[in-house]
Amino acid sequence: MSIYKKAAEMVKHSGRITAFTGAGISVESGIPPFRGDDGLWSKYDPALLDINYFRAYPEKSWPVIKEIFYDFFGKAKPNAAHRALAVLEKNGMVQTVITQNIDNLHQEAGSKEVYEFHGNSQYLICDSCAGRYHVSEVNLDEMPPYCRQCGGLLKPDFVFFGEAIPQGVYARSVREAQLSDLFILIGTTGEVVPASMIPPLAKSRGASIIEINIDPSNYTERISDLFIQAKATEGMIGLMDALGIPLPPE
Ligand code: APR
């Protein structure tokens, strides 16, 4: 039986399925991963995304944040892997997407139940009064951007190193790990805690694990029951074919 047929059987025999995604699912949308040969952390210093550094040197941190997450990410579109997860949700075969990504591509692909473990880059929040702005409302040519209400520093509404995970998202993700029969891991190293603790928790509670990645990850030997070594789009298209579910064109 092909690996895709095996994956399809696992999906068909699961009552509650969660997809757990990382930067790898967005690489074919043109967004580089953080780690790996041409990863963002090989070009930029992750310290720029440390919350204390950002607050101390916003004039240094913000221009790089703008370059990476707004000038570059801003034009990315969902790819077939994002769309496949949205179709599976519509078919009642995936209940939740837990993503570490901040690129909003799951929502743009049509997924509704999306838990953003590291927040979302579409909104900026005032570090003083918590005023919230959609990025389109803010002139990012003025660096760093400040709050129109109180003059406080605006910060992207995603989780910086040294910041806590949004409490509601964390709790709901743990709950899905406790209740799901199957986790589909797509494009993640499994290196960043506490996000990386969610799949092992699911495994410990009896979930089966399908992993789609171009390379083995921290999960592959430890918890993955089925490892599909493929790009995210190839893996998800193969799964949809094996399930006999057509994937609508872009
Ligand atoms: N298809 C599938 N997987 C891919 C592809 C692809 N086309 N390209 C790369 N990958 C895999 C890599 O093999 C790697 O396992 O995606 C993963 C990317 O790893 P990271 O860049 O570390 O991404 P992620 O695991 O999501 O990082 C977690 O780290 O810096 C923080 O907050 C950031 O959310 C991020 C977190």
Q: What domain range includes position 65?
A: 37-75+121-158
Contact 105, 77 (CB under 8 A): yes
Average pLDDT, the chain: 95
DSSP conformational letter for 56: H
User: Tokens for 101?
Assistant: 């990504």
Query: What is 57-97 written as a DSSP string?
Result: -HHHHHHHHIIIIIIIGGG----HHHHHHHHHHHTTS--EE
CATH code of 109's domain: 3.40.50.1220
Is pLDDT at 68 greater than 90 in this prediction?
A: no
User: What is the CATH classification number for the domain harbouring 132?
Assistant: 3.30.1600.10
Backbone angles phi, psi at 4, to 5 degrees: -75, -35
Domain count within the chain: 2
Kindly give the distance from the C-alpha atom of residue 159 to the centroid of ligand 1, in angstroms, as a whole number.
16
Quote the pLDDT of residue 38: 83
Summarised one tens digit per residue, pLDDT across range 133-188 is: 999 999 999 999 999 999 999 999 999 999 999 999 999 999 999 999 999 999 99
32 lines ligand 1 (CB under 6 A): no
Name the catalytic one among 13, 82, 106, 118: 118
**Amino acid of residue 139:** N
Neighbouring-strand partners of residue 213 = 229
Assigned token pair, 19: 């997809």
Identify the residue with better confidence: 38 or 57: 57
Q: Are residues 138 and 218 in the same domain?
A: no
- Domain final position from 158, 184, 214: 158
pLDDT score recorded for residue 72: 76
In this model, does residue 26 exceed pLDDT 80? yes
Nearest CA to ligand 1 atom 1: 231
Within this chain, do residues 60 and 104 fall inside the same structural domain, yes or no? no
**Six-digit token string for 200:** 């092992």
Same domain, 172 and 66: no
Q: Are 215 and 27 a contacting pair, CB within 8 Å?
A: no
Cα(123)–Cα(217) distance, integer angstroms: 31
Predicted confidence band of residue 211 (pLDDT cuts 50, 70, 90): very high
The preferred substitution site among 105, 188, 198 for testing ligand 1, maximizing ligand atoms within 8 Å of CB, is 188
**The pLDDT of residue 71:** 85
Asked whether 188 and 172 are in contact (CB, 8 A), the reply is: no
Q: Are residues 98 and 50 in the same domain?
A: no
Query: Which sign does the torsion angle of CA 164, 27, 115, 236 carry?
Result: negative
Q: How far is CA 169 from CA 99, 164, 174, in A?
A: 10, 11, 9
* 118 included as an active-site residue: yes
Predicted local confidence at residue 73, as pLDDT: 74
Ligand 1 near 83 CB (within 6 A): no
Q: How far is the CA of 147 from the centre of ligand 1 (A)?
A: 32
